[in-house]
Amino acid sequence: MRYTETMAVNRRMILLIRTLHGLITVTFLSCIFYIYYSVFTGSRSYLLYLAVGLILIEGLVVSLNKGDCPLGPIHHKYGDDKAFFELLLPKRQAKQAVPFLGLVTLIGILLLFI
């Protein structure tokens, strides 16, 4: 494969990975939203348990990866040096996004027990 063909493949892969990463992020943000919705409405449903389960699995995976998103190496493999949240936020805030969302999620889950 020529250099320009490789670059084109890498650009397509970066776009695909960013799109999938975005969909995963929207899913987890929806889980966090639903946890707080359940806290404020007092509702308990299978969706709540699914949301909490997905969040706990994500937390475990990120923790096992030492606080980093496990998709980062896939981004880097194709030459995408920008962290996903850096697409949306300045670099400093992007680095704080995962710990902040983790704290917000933990508070929401704890509120379920009150």
Residue 107 is which amino acid?
I
User: In which band, very low, low, confident or very high, does the pLDDT at 105 lie, cut at 50, 70 and 90?
Assistant: very high
Predicted model pTM: 0.86
Q: CA torsion sign, 38 to 108 to 27 to 97?
A: positive
Look up the domain containing 50 and give its range. 3-112
Q: Residue 27 corresponds to which tokens in the numbers above?
A: 């899913």
How crowded is residue 56: how many other Cβ atoms within 10 Å of its Cβ?
13
Sequence-separated (6 or more) residues with CB below 8 Å from residue 25? 84
Mean pLDDT of 69-75: 84
**Number of domains into which the chain is organized:** 1
The more confidently predicted of residues 5 and 14 is: 14
The more confidently predicted of residues 105 and 95 is: 105
- Asked if the model's pLDDT at residue 1 lies above 80, the reply is no
